[in-house]
Amino acid sequence: MTVDAPTTVVNLGEKKARKLTSSRRPVWMEKPSAATQGVKGLVLLLICIAVIYPFMIVIGTSLSTQEEIARNNGFVLFPAEPTLAAYQTIFAGGIVTEALLRSVGITLVGTALSVTLTVLMAYGLSRRGLLGGGFFLMTALLTMLFTPGIIPTFLVVKELGLLDTYAALILPTALSAFNLVIVRSFMMGIPSELTEAARLDGAGDLRILWHVVLPLSKAVIAVVGLFYAVGYWNAFFNAMLYVDSDKWPLAMVLRQYVLLGSSIDQSAAAEIAAPSQAIQMAVIVISIVPILCVYPFLQKYFTKGVLTGAIKG
């Protein structure tokens, strides 16, 4: 039996085409062209300018004199005669210095407490077979889906005797259901062979958490800790509701400087009333710098694969 030559050629061509198609790499794995790289570089440059330019204006305005600010319609990028008068005025008054120390303390204590509660609850809920685990997880998720509101929260804080205390700035937001779900999902992805091996060696839950789970969870804990720290550092609404002006954190003082230009508490009004543009910008710089100093130390955990090589098959 013979086969027509044209049919054989067509079959061979189809096989070759299928082979070439199957061996071709995906588009995203191909090396980008010079034009594509140029466009990406231009886009990144524009994004950097859009982010850095306002920040440079804030710094430049904080280092300018009132006359130079007036000549430039309120915003200065490169001051002709830089001066630290605005910063000297702020720290000489005492309100910003005290508020800065309060914010540092609230952020450190609140972040440590929140991370501890989140890790402990996430570890418990990540263990299979936990009695009542589904109920506690659903309770936490309901707090994320249905928030209690301002008035019920205020009444709870009042009945607990937390008004005009620093605890009122920490305890109502000590545990975030969103962060809890993130940490729990990460811990559930840790290979069970590691925890089972530790349990066979006689380790209890606390020892497994400390020596096995936490070292593998550094990345997610660092990210969640940064979320908590930024939240505590920038929070001002709870301070407005629960504490007097002598316990205001830096975010609340910043709000008074930038938005109102006066203080709710008359004892502090003399120092906050009618601030100049330079003083407003200087307070913004002071509130941003601590977060900028902390972020570089946590950046590596955002992309680091901590489980790579944990188990070799």
9 belongs to a structural domain: no
- Structure token pair of residue 149: 């509101």
Query: pLDDT, tens digit, for every residue of 104-119?
Result: 999 999 999 999 999 9
Q: What HEC string does the chain produce?
A: CCCCHHHHHHHHHHHHHHHHHHHCCCHHHCCCCHHHHHHHHHHHHHHHHHHHHHHHHHHHHHCCCHHHHHHCCCCCCCCCCCCCHHHHHHHHHCHHHHHHHHHHHHHHHHHHHHHHHHHHHHHHHHCCCCCCHHHHHHHHHHHHHCCCCHHHHHHHHHHCCCCCCHHHHCHHHCCCHHHHHHHHHHHHCCCHHHHHHHHHCCCCHHHHHHHHHHHHCHHHHHHHHHHHHHHHHHCCHHHHHHCCHHHCCHHHHHHHHHHHCCCCCHHHHHHHCCCCHHHHHHHHHHHHHHHHHHHHHHHHHHCCCCCCCCCCC
In this predicted model, what pLDDT tens digit does every residue of 158-168 receive, in sequence order?
Answer: 999 889 899 99
**Given this model, what pLDDT does residue 313 score?**
43
> pLDDT under 50 in the chain at which residues?
1, 3, 9-10, 20, 262-275, 305-313
CATH number, domain of 224, equals 1.10.3720.10
What pLDDT is recorded for position 258? 72
- Quote the pLDDT of residue 185: 87
Domain assignment present for residue 67? The answer is no
Q: Give a yes or no: residue 65 inside a domain.
A: no
Per-residue pLDDT, 44 = 92
Q: Give domain status of residue 224, yes or no.
A: yes
12 belongs to a structural domain? no
Residue 164 placed within a domain: yes
Which pLDDT value is given to residue 148? 80
pTM to 2 decimal places? 0.75
What's the total number of domains in the chain? 1
**Domain annotation covers residue 55:** no
Q: Which domain holds residue 99?
A: 87-302
Q: Is residue 26 part of a domain?
A: no
The pLDDT score that the predictor gives to residue 4 is 52
